[in-house]
């Protein structure tokens, strides 16, 4: 699914360019396991990619969705993820440890279904969006908050990264897909 690939690449790149993450080894293992759809998306290898200068993004429609050429897509996603990571660093200190610890407990609870954990993530993001004064559009704030929560959960318990990553991609895909398509 192209949308999940885009969301996975965006989240992965966000995590990779974020400051202060303690799960580098686990993050790169997502890449080696094929969980991240564009293994070459890694920021470390993107210096040779160039944006088109004519103002147009080359791409085509597939199943009614714009599919960008991989080189452009990777560069656009890298730029967007870096901008979102800067915002995320500002939000980071606003998120209370209790919220993160509650989510960690939900992820550790093997009795909760994937849907229930995604709902918990959604509730946490929506609660934070209401609690933190945000000077930006709601969808962008919710996207950044979801990605920052992912980083904070993985920093608290790196072994949860794969589970948290897939849950966050699922949440973003369900709730914010159209916003991401407009952004890219």
pLDDT of amino acid 100: 97
Number of domains within the chain: 1
Residue 55: inside a domain: no
Residues in the chain: 184
pLDDT truncated to tens, each residue of the chain (184 aa)? 566 888 999 999 999 999 888 898 999 888 888 777 654 444 333 333 333 333 333 344 444 444 544 444 788 899 999 999 999 998 998 899 999 999 999 999 999 999 999 999 999 999 999 988 778 899 999 999 999 999 999 999 999 999 999 999 999 999 999 999 888 8
Cβ–Cβ < 8 Å for 41, 78: yes
Contact between 9 and 41 (Cβ < 8 Å): yes
C-alpha dihedral over 129, 131, 134, 139, to 10 degrees?
Answer: 10
**What pLDDT does 135 receive?**
84
45 falls within a domain:
no
Is the residue at 81 inside a domain?
Answer: yes
CATH of the domain at 24: 1.10.437.10
Tell me the residue range of the domain where 99 lies.
2-38+69-183
> Distances from the Cα of 181 to the Cαs of 9, 109, 153, in angstroms?
13, 33, 26
Question: Residue 83: inside a domain, yes or no?
Answer: yes
The verdict on residue 145 lying in a domain is yes
Helices 161-183, 114-131: axis angle to 10 degrees equals 60
pTM of the model: 0.80
Q: Is residue 158 in a domain?
A: yes
Q: Looking at the domain assignment, is residue 123 inside a domain?
A: yes
117 is a domain residue: yes
Burial zone of 77 (CB within 10 Å; 0-12 exposed, 13-18 middle, 19+ buried): buried
């Amino acid at each position: 699914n192209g949308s999940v690939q885009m969301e996975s690449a965006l989240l992965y790149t966000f995590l990779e360019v974020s400051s202060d993450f303690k799960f580098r080894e686990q993050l790169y293992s997502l890449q080696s396991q094929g969980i991240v759809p564009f293994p070459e998306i890694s920021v470390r290898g993107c210096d040779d990619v160039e944006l088109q200068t004519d103002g147009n993004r080359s791409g085509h429609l597939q199943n009614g969705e714009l599919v960008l050429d991989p080189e452009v897509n990777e560069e656009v996603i890298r730029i967007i993820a870096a901008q979102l990571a800067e915002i995320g660093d500002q939000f980071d200190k606003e998120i209370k440890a209790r919220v993160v610890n509650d989510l960690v407990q939900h992820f550790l609870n093997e009795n909760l279904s994937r849907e229930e954990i995604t709902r918990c993530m959604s509730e946490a993001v929506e609660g934070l969006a209401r609690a933190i004064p945000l000077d930006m559009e709601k969808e962008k704030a919710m996207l950044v908050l979801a990605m920052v929560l992912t980083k904070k959960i993985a920093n608290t318990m790196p072994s949860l990264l794969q589970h948290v990553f897939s849950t966050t991609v699922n949440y973003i895909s369900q709730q914010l897909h159209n916003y991401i398509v407009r952004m890219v």
